[in-house]
Structure 1
Amino acid sequence: MHTLSNIASGIRTLFGTVPGMNGGSALGDNSFWQRKMLTHFTRMDMNGDNFVSRDDFKSLVKSLANKAKLSDQRAFLMQRLVIQLWEDFWCCGEDKGFEYKVPVEEFLGLVINLLKLSDSKALLEEPLSLLFGVIDLDGNGVVNIREWTIYNEAIGVSENDAVHSFEVCFDSKTEVTKEDFIAVGQAFFTVTDERHTSRHLWGPLV
């Protein structure tokens, strides 16, 4: 079981402290930011083993294909997207082997190191763009409430919480563009203000 206190301690030991966005407290000591990152990690940990692996991403696509009754071609394309997301973002472009598993401390350290860079928000665009491609189940370039709900249910968010996050994060739009999603996703990873609506992106915080 992960707790915020032992995660924060591990982050400070491995990566030091990083100033928060917009003059906020250091991310390694910001419990709200840590909860957001732990929430995202938990949603991607499909098998609940406290690690995120290539198999979790493949399981995600399998679940989506079943729930949305995707064609084999569409499922194959989504499989390619998630593998690219796994290799380029979660593995930092390194060949770590098919069996590699990312623990939560490493994931938070990865994000912290990314946020140290001056162009961090721009660097978040690629993984968020890939993830949008997975959520866009029919591949038409926009995400509607049905697709959003199916994706969120696949990662363990209830239908009611998925509907709430869609309405709150995207200003009650009926369809969300890739640009809309990237903007909210960037805020989720960088903002430390607890009042910001991006906190709801992946359902209730853990």
Structure 2
Amino acid sequence: MALSIVRLGLRSVINFERNAAVISVTSVPKQLKLIHTKPACNGSVCYLADLPRDRELRSDRGSALRRYSKHHGRPEEDRRKQSDSDSDSDTDTECKGYDRTEFWRRKMRTVHNILDVDKDGLISFNDFILFAERFKSLGHLTNQQAEEFTSIIKLTWEEQWGAIDPYNFVTVEQYLEDMHHVLNDKSQKKRAYRWLPYLFKAVDKDKSGFISVHEFKLFFKCLGLDNEKAAVAFAVIDVNGDGKLSQKEFVKLGKEFFCTEDEKKVSKMFWGPLIH
């Protein structure tokens, strides 16, 4: 009888511990059960699969960081770092830093106004073509040069503003923002002025390799500006006073206009009077 009582007591203790263990396992919160995940293998590499909650957090964080530029397709934060690290190394330009002065913004608004050939307040691909046609219509470019010029104008639009579409417009503020990023990126900044040599060749009427004040007036005429403004601008940018500009001088002035923020530079006159 005593032996039976002892066996019954031991069985009760064992059953109690077993039940306690079951209760403790089933009462564990569901989220804690997810700590142990099934490993996934890819070839010779195995790893623990992400927790659903971790994937949500990572996805949310990624969405917050993925602020893509409309045209360049890089995260905004990465693009900013890239721009700062790749600032212009040319000795004759000053494309540096991330902030821009109001003086520089006035210059970019001036160029936007010039490229807006139909004066509707927006730049379109059609404006680009009309701009190129003004210079080609002077008749001073060879057929090959004219074709190259058109190709560069087309390439510049596609690289910087995307599709050639009649409804693809560039506002003033968008132009300023895009030019800011382009000029701060060493790999892209040539877009801003790679077509300048063709403008020079188009107005170099006698093909001397230099342009006089009279030929500079052709340049301003194609920009939609009058002769008086051309004469004033030429007098300012012809620093050595020899009455002519070489292609090297012309291109340097054009590049400097886009890049420098020094108001003392004569290049500020290159595209005519600055607008507000």
Question: In the alignment, residue 150 of structure 2 is paired with which amino acid?
Answer: I
Cα deviation, 1:152-192, whole Å, max 9, x if unaligned, reads 12322221111111121132333222211111112111111
Which whole-Å CA distance do the structure 1 matches of 2:161 and 2:106 have between them?
A: 27
Question: In the alignment, residue 96 of structure 1 is paired with which amino acid?
Answer: A
Which whole-Å CA distance do the structure 2 matches of 1:65 and 1:128 have between them?
A: 13
In structure 1, what is the equivalent of residue 163 of structure 2? 96
More off after superposition, 176-185 vs 86-95: 86-95
* 1:134 correspondence with 2:202: yes
Cα deviation, 1:31-70, whole Å, max 9, x if unaligned, reads 110000111111121110122233224333554566x5x3
Which whole-Å CA distance do the structure 2 matches of 1:32 and 1:185 have between them?
A: 16
More off after superposition, 173-182 vs 38-47: 173-182
* 1:39 correspondence with 2:105: no
In structure 2, what is the equivalent of residue 26 of structure 1? 99
Mark the CA change 1:103 to 1:78 in structure 2 (over 3 Å): closer, same or farther.
farther
Q: Which of 225, 244, 255 is the matching residue for 1:186?
A: 255
Question: In the alignment, residue 99 of structure 2 is paired with which amino acid?
Answer: A
Question: In the alignment, residue 105 of structure 2 is paired with which amino acid?
Answer: Q
Give the superposed CA RMSD.
3.5
* 1:197 correspondence with 2:270: no
Cα deviation, 1:18-43, whole Å, max 9, x if unaligned, reads 8894877811xx11100001111111
SS of 2:185 mapped into structure 1:
coil
Larger radius of gyration: 2
Counterpart contact for 1:58–1:79, Cα < 8 Å: no
Q: Structure 1 unaligned runs (5+)?
A: 1-12
* 1:60 correspondence with 2:131: yes
Identical pairs, percent: 22
Counterpart contact for 1:61–1:75, Cα < 8 Å: no
**Larger fraction in helix:** 1
Aligned length: 188
Mark the CA change 1:23 to 1:56 in structure 2 (over 3 Å): closer, same or farther.
closer
Q: Structure 2 unaligned runs (5+)?
A: 1-68, 71-75, 88-93
When normalised by structure 2's length, the TM-score is: 0.55
Q: Which of 164, 173, 176 is the matching residue for 1:108?
A: 176
Which whole-Å CA distance do the structure 1 matches of 2:129 and 2:187 have between them?
A: 30
Mark the CA change 1:137 to 1:93 in structure 2 (over 3 Å): closer, same or farther.
farther
In structure 1, what is the equivalent of residue 122 of structure 2? 51
Which whole-Å CA distance do the structure 2 matches of 1:75 and 1:56 have between them?
A: 22
Which whole-Å CA distance do the structure 2 matches of 1:98 and 1:77 have between them?
A: 26
Greater relative contact order (CA < 8 Å, ≥ 6 in sequence) = 1
In structure 1, what is the equivalent of residue 153 of structure 2? 86
Counterpart contact for 1:39–1:205, Cα < 8 Å: yes
Aligned-pair distance for 1:140? Answer: 4.5
Counterpart contact for 1:61–1:78, Cα < 8 Å: no
